[in-house]
Structure 1
Amino acid sequence: MAKRTSEAADLPPPKSTAKGQGTARPPAAAGVDEEMGEFEDRWEDEIESEEEVMDAEAEGEDDFTPAQEDSAPAPEPTQTYLPGGALEADEHLVPDNSVYLALHSLSYAWPCLSFDVLHDDLGSDRATFPHTAWIVTGTQAGEVPGQGSKAKDEVVIMRLGNLAKTQGDDDDSDAEDGDDDDQDGTDEDATLDFLSIPHVGSVNRIRAAPTSTSSGSADPYHVATFSETGKVHIFDVRPYIDTLAGPSSRPRQKSPIHTITNHGRSEGFAVEWGQTGLLTGDIDRKIFLTTLTPTGFSTSSQPYLSHTSSVEDLQWSPSEPTVFASASADRTVRVWDVRAKGRKSVVSVEAHEQDVNVISWNKGVEYLLVSGGDEGGLKVWDLRMFKGTPTPVANFQWHTAPITSVEWHPTDTSVFAASGSDDQLTLWDLSVEPDEDEAPIVTPATNGVSAVPPQLLFVHQGQKDVKEVHWHPQIPGMVISTASDSFNVFKTISC
């Protein structure tokens, strides 16, 4: 959540307007009877009597200038900012730390527009701050300023450390009372340690293979990238994780362990690992399946073909290892079964009025799927109703630009996260029902909607052009997002 604040002008501190601050006449000495005589005042000629002071004030002749009082600068005025509202020239957004348990921003040398969370051996359901998170990402470096040449891209293995609790930044009252839960962290900044692997071409999409908690350090940890060159590269990042985690020799392997060339020169953005294998989809509407055999990776020569335009995203079914779903710029979402003959989709639906950019399959409710479109819409589908002309079970038109990422919460089956090109990251809870007695929260007219949907749980802002968002599966409620300018890691008090 964000607040808007105005920049205060540099003004001199205000002068005191209090009156009667002159030196008062000393009182009579204790135990002295005033009837015995008048108290002799050595400063009688220099001090005006009270009657004279009052008379002077009444006649406007008070020449006394009161002393300036020491005072701290007045705090900048703030108010809650609703997305879509206009900012004045002297206004800027600042985070409202009272709604975050933790909020950290980290940046890398080059934009990293796709990433995935790596499973670690630090345990599940971690709640104690500070946290540590492992991710893998890829760069889109672009041209080197002033040189006219393209920078070398990389696959980067990152350890995000000291992700401390930050809610106390705005309110330290608990700490003063001694009930600070040992602060659950430190005052130091979050850290970013990394190792990189050279990569040919920009990384359009990167995904890590699923691993089990029983996986040992000797087992490979496969990561796949879809390059702008049209090639899909598979790396083993286990040696890099081991090196960052402790004393270990620097990895010597600098090249992918396997490269898929079936897409030709057609680049793509759809990459998805599953129990059956690796799915990759390209802008030439082709989907290929790569499986791991005792002799290595093998890619089927025949693609899955039913879409009529670019394949934008892919998702394996969480319950049926041979079933997957796809999203396409042809505005459809399709469901496939690798056992079906002809390599055609089984069912499909025209899901959005424009390109379907992203989809996510609910891990706990096997028939729920959420999709995000180019028009900014978010729709939740019941796959059991994918017959005829189905309608979504939920439809949210909050974002005002293309949806760039969606992902269901790993354990809460009613919650999902989404991001858009409107610089918003939103959290939604389908279990919230509208309260008919509650007045709607009206948003600025420029947002294009009349009221805040009751299912809208949280709005996170502050990044520029948010591209991907993921929940951390081992740290409940932790969200990680990447944008053109930074990574954000946060936990809210509502999740």
Structure 2
Amino acid sequence: MPKRSATEVLTSTSQPVPKAAKVSQNGPRRDNLVPDEAGEFEDEWEDEFSDEEVVEQPEDDEENEDGMDVDEVLPAIEEEDAPAPTSDVFIPGKHKLEPGEEMEPDDSVYLMRHTLLVDWSCLSFDILRDNLGDERQRYPATAYLVTGSQAATGKDNEVLVIKTSSLHRTQKDGDDSDSDDDDNDDDLDEDPVVESRSIPHKGGVNRIRAQPLPPSSQLPPVSQPYYVASWSETGKVHIWDVRPLIESLDVPGYSVDKRRTQTPVYTVNNHGRTEGFAMDWAMTNSSLRLITGDNDSKIYLTTSSPSGFNTAPQPFTSHTSSVEDLQWSPAQVTIFASCSADSTVKIWDIRTKGRTSAASIDSAHESDVNVISWNKSQDYLLLSGGDEGGLKIWDLRNIKTPGAAPVSFDWHKGPITSVEWHPTDNTAFAASGADNQISLWDVSVEPDDDEMGGTGGTPEQEVPAQLLFSHYQRDTKEVHWHPQIPGTVFSTAYDGFDIFKTISL
């Protein structure tokens, strides 16, 4: 990833506009200019002289034929009367939306941006791997998601497998629509096509995760399962096989066996009636492992075998408050990390007989530690997000060293709701917060010489050099990178999903 200046993020922020204004899908327009047929802008106040007319100009200090002084009729415009340019960059925490204003996206900084509306809010989702290939760059794109609803009544909830296709590149003002490349469909700016299949779900879905598949792998055959786990507000963790639902989205006329799809393959009942949010899968050579954490500070391990799934009766118990998030180590199959409302981050080894943590980062954040993410290629780096809005990167090699401080960022002005390292770039990560922001970061970026130590109070000096992009989405809950479409971000919020790719990555 190339080095970038901190000022790049300033072109990425959305701008406040009156709520009554129509949000343009192609960036801001200059309404006082009218393009002619040749694409040039006409001046509505242009003098109406034909090309054949010759207009004699009065000599200096002389009056015209009507005895009128031109300077009196059209006084000179003084340059100092022109309004000084002002910065319209919206900086969260410094600027506030006025009553009746909302944010408008600046599509000039997006390669692709789409919004998907849903019937009910979804707190969590995961991206399903597909057979369309890795490192995909062409448009239109296709992606598969699994999510769960938060309906008004428990009986109306469902797990949804969603196929989004026709994800075209976003058009921008100034794009040449008369391109000679008639076969290039990348520039079409159409609404995506959304198809879905559903599974009835008892209770709202607090969190949902799909089993991991090896990188560059194909989906398992239809006869083999593709497991998804859902954390229900009823205190149950259900495991579903969604492979037939994916097939039914791709094969016309495919008949889904409801006995296979609408009944859980397995249910974790060990949490009793205590609900939770923390959950993560791991894959070993011989089995799948699922860890789940609840609001009573307990963590349970469920393991697959040829005969099915089984949950160990003894929980992992070292936290003193609710377990907020869990992450398996990407390098060691017996190690996982947890974070909690008790302000700690803990490291565990499932081989420990006492089911207690092997290491602990006490007071990792000022209050609740909401989310964590383990770097896939540099497995000693763990990212955490706290209730105070802070983001911290921990070097697990030094957590037992007194005075060892993490790399920290304090950009967000609300609790962090989601964090995730980039799947292939070990210096980039995404975060979302209750301040309606999704932020994209690159920790390898260093400030330019003229951006260090400034005291002028300009927007550039208020933005961390490592912050590449800020995307506005109201009440964002969770964010994920697509593992097969580089740089593409998916997020879920109060009113639906956003899918975007920026020019910054």
Deviations 1:290-319 (A, max 9, x none): 001121110000000101110000000000
Match of 1:352 in 2: 365
Query: Does the CA-based 8 Å contact 1:465-1:483 persist in structure 2?
Result: yes
Unaligned runs of 5+ in 2: 1-12, 22-30, 34-42, 56-61, 74-85
CA 26–165 in structure 1, closer or farther in 2 if over 3 Å, else same: closer
What CA distance in whole angstroms lies between the structure 2 residues aligned with 1:249 and 1:153?
Answer: 23
CA 108–56 in structure 1, closer or farther in 2 if over 3 Å, else same: same
Query: Does the CA-based 8 Å contact 2:382-2:393 persist in structure 1?
Result: yes
SS at structure 2 position matched to 1:110? coil
Aligned partner of 2:134 among 101, 106, 124? 124
Query: Does the CA-based 8 Å contact 1:334-1:348 persist in structure 2?
Result: yes
- Output the amino acid matched with 1:241: I
What CA distance in whole angstroms lies between the structure 1 residues aligned with 2:481 and 2:358?
Answer: 30
* Correspondence list, 1:296-335, <5 A: 296-335=308-347
What's the CA shift for 1:341? Answer: 1.8
Match of 1:45 in 2: none
Deviations 1:102-121 (A, max 9, x none): 00000111101100000111
Query: Does the CA-based 8 Å contact 1:117-1:135 persist in structure 2?
Result: yes
SS at structure 2 position matched to 1:98? helix
Q: Does 1:134 align with 2:144?
A: yes
Aligned partner of 1:410 among 412, 417, 423? 423
State the TM-score, normalizing by the size of structure 1. Answer: 0.82
* Correspondence list, 1:19-38, <5 A: none
Match of 1:192 in 2: 194
Match of 1:341 in 2: 353
CA 379–56 in structure 1, closer or farther in 2 if over 3 Å, else same: same
SS at structure 1 position matched to 2:258? coil
Q: Does 1:261 align with 2:273?
A: no
- Output the amino acid matched with 2:500: F
What CA distance in whole angstroms lies between the structure 2 residues aligned with 1:293 and 1:431?
Answer: 42
Match of 2:26 in 1: none
What's the CA shift for 1:406? Answer: 0.3
What's the CA shift for 1:263? Answer: 0.2
What CA distance in whole angstroms lies between the structure 2 residues aligned with 1:135 and 1:344?
Answer: 35
Q: Does 1:171 align with 2:182?
A: no
What's the CA shift for 1:245? Answer: 1.1
Query: Does the CA-based 8 Å contact 2:349-2:357 persist in structure 1?
Result: yes
CA 187–311 in structure 1, closer or farther in 2 if over 3 Å, else same: same
CA 251–107 in structure 1, closer or farther in 2 if over 3 Å, else same: farther
Aligned partner of 1:155 among 143, 153, 159? 159
Deviations 1:119-152 (A, max 9, x none): 1111111111011000100000125xxxxxx551
CA 433–53 in structure 1, closer or farther in 2 if over 3 Å, else same: closer
What's the CA shift for 1:211? Answer: 2.0
* Correspondence list, 1:50-449, <5 A: 54-55=65-66, 57=68, 79-84=88-93, 85-89=95-99, 91-143=101-153, 152-166=156-170, 168-173=171-176, 175-176=177-178, 178=180, 182-184=184-186, 186-212=188-214, 213-214=217-218, 215-247=220-252, 248-253=254-259, 254-275=262-283, 277-350=289-362, 351-389=364-402, 391-438=404-451
What's the CA shift for 1:91? Answer: 4.4
Percent of pairs with identical residues: 52
Query: Does the CA-based 8 Å contact 1:243-1:251 persist in structure 2?
Result: no
Query: Does the CA-based 8 Å contact 1:3-1:78 persist in structure 2?
Result: no
Aligned partner of 1:457 among 463, 468, 473? 468
Deviations 1:21-68 (A, max 9, x none): 79x9999xxxxxxxxxxxxxxxxxxxxxxx998226569xx9xxxxxx
State the TM-score, normalizing by the size of structure 2. Answer: 0.81
- Output the amino acid matched with 1:466: T
Query: Does the CA-based 8 Å contact 1:327-1:359 persist in structure 2?
Result: yes
- Output the amino acid matched with 1:163: L
What's the CA shift for 1:188? Answer: 2.2
Structure having greater relative contact order (Cα 8 Å, sep ≥ 6): 2
- Output the amino acid matched with 2:412: H
SS at structure 2 position matched to 1:437? helix
What's the CA shift for 1:381? Answer: 0.3
Aligned partner of 2:480 among 450, 465, 470? 470
What's the CA shift for 1:176? Answer: 4.0
Aligned partner of 1:487 among 478, 493, 497? 497
CA 443–120 in structure 1, closer or farther in 2 if over 3 Å, else same: farther
Moved more, 80-89 or 239-248: 80-89
What's the CA shift for 1:217? Answer: 2.8
- Output the amino acid matched with 1:458: F
- Output the amino acid matched with 2:186: D
What CA distance in whole angstroms lies between the structure 2 residues aligned with 1:268 and 1:198?
Answer: 20
Query: Does the CA-based 8 Å contact 1:240-1:251 persist in structure 2?
Result: no
CA 217–442 in structure 1, closer or farther in 2 if over 3 Å, else same: farther
Match of 1:73 in 2: none
CA 437–122 in structure 1, closer or farther in 2 if over 3 Å, else same: same
Query: Does the CA-based 8 Å contact 2:155-2:201 persist in structure 1?
Result: no
What CA distance in whole angstroms lies between the structure 2 residues aligned with 1:222 and 1:17?
Answer: 67
What CA distance in whole angstroms lies between the structure 2 residues aligned with 1:334 and 1:5?
Answer: 44
Query: Does the CA-based 8 Å contact 1:277-1:292 persist in structure 2?
Result: yes
- Output the amino acid matched with 2:318: S
- Output the amino acid matched with 2:267: T
What's the CA shift for 1:390? Answer: 5.1
What CA distance in whole angstroms lies between the structure 2 residues aligned with 1:25 and 1:305?
Answer: 92
Match of 1:46 in 2: none
Unaligned runs of 5+ in 1: 28-50, 63-76, 144-149
Moved more, 243-252 or 128-137: 243-252
**Greater Rg over alpha carbons, structure:** 1
What's the CA shift for 1:392? Answer: 3.7
CA 19–283 in structure 1, closer or farther in 2 if over 3 Å, else same: closer
- Output the amino acid matched with 2:274: S
Deviations 1:326-379 (A, max 9, x none): 000000000001111201100010210110000000000010000000000000
What CA distance in whole angstroms lies between the structure 2 residues aligned with 1:258 and 1:92?
Answer: 45
What CA distance in whole angstroms lies between the structure 1 residues aligned with 2:161 and 2:455?
Answer: 43
Match of 1:37 in 2: none
Deviations 1:62-92 (A, max 9, x none): 9xxxxxxxxxxxxxx9933222312344644
- Output the amino acid matched with 2:65: M
- Output the amino acid matched with 1:193: E
CA RMSD of aligned residues (A): 3.3
CA 344–165 in structure 1, closer or farther in 2 if over 3 Å, else same: same
